[in-house]
């Protein structure tokens, strides 16, 4: 259980954030927030160390992987909260965020949502959703009973 929180939740959350901090454009709003709390100098030093490799990192790593990691983090935390058991009572809460992310990407593909569809985003959302179940789930019990009149 400690490994699940440390690696599955906190580790993937921080890794996704670190990719943003080190490699994403400094025009993102989060960099204004860091500046307002006095972290700009430290973060710029880290970005300077990372800058020589940014041109060698594939786009999917920079732009799609963080979101997949954050979905993995969310699912890991939700599974931890429900003691790694999935049921009718908790499946909605476990799947709400990845469902919204996947639906948004498909909505972009179909033109219902503004933005640019990216297959790498969709793939990493799906992997971020499925892998925590494979790694951490003890039981899945989704028995849906039909009610008779």
- Residue 77 included in any domain: yes
Q: What is the pLDDT of residue 140?
A: 76
- 148 within a domain of the structure (yes/no): no
Return the pLDDT at 145.
56
User: pLDDT by residue (tens digit) across 13-61?
Assistant: 999 999 999 999 999 999 999 999 999 999 999 999 999 999 999 999 9
With respect to residue 146, please indicate whether it lies within any of the assigned structural domains: no
User: How many domains does one find in the chain?
Assistant: 1
107 pLDDT higher than 60 = yes
- Residues 120-145 have a mean pLDDT of 88
Average pLDDT, the chain: 92
Torsion angle, alpha carbons of 36, 39, 44, 50, to 10: -130
pLDDT beyond 80 at 67: yes
Residue 149 confidence (pLDDT) above 70: no
Spatial separation of the C-alpha atoms in residues 117 and 113, rounded to whole Å? 10
Tell whether 28 is covered by a domain.
yes
Which domain, by its residues, includes 43?
Answer: 2-141
What pLDDT shows up at residue 11? Answer: 96
Q: Are 93 and 147 in contact, with CB atoms under 8 Å apart?
A: no
Is the residue at 149 inside a domain? no
Residue 144: pLDDT band with limits 50, 70, 90:
low
Least confident of 1-5, 46-50, 119-123: 1-5
Query: Is it the case that residue 147 has pLDDT exceeding 70?
Result: no
Whether 31 is covered by a domain: the verdict is yes
């Amino acid at each position: 259980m400690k490994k699940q929180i440390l690696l599955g939740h906190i580790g993937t959350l921080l890794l996704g954030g670190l990719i943003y901090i080190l490699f994403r454009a400094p025009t993102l709003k989060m960099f204004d927030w860091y500046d307002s709390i006095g972290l700009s100098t430290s973060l710029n030093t880290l970005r300077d160390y990372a800058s020589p490799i940014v041109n060698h990192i594939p786009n999917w790593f920079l732009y799609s992987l963080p979101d997949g990691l954050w979905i993995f983090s969310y699912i890991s935390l939700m599974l931890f909260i429900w003691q790694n058991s999935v049921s009718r009572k908790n499946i909605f809460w476990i799947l709400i965020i990845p469902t919204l992310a996947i639906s948004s990407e498909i909505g972009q593909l179909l033109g219902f949502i503004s933005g640019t569809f990216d297959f790498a985003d969709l793939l990493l959302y799906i992997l971020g959703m499925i892998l925590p179940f494979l790694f951490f789930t003890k039981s899945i019990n989704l028995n849906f009973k039909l009610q008779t009149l």
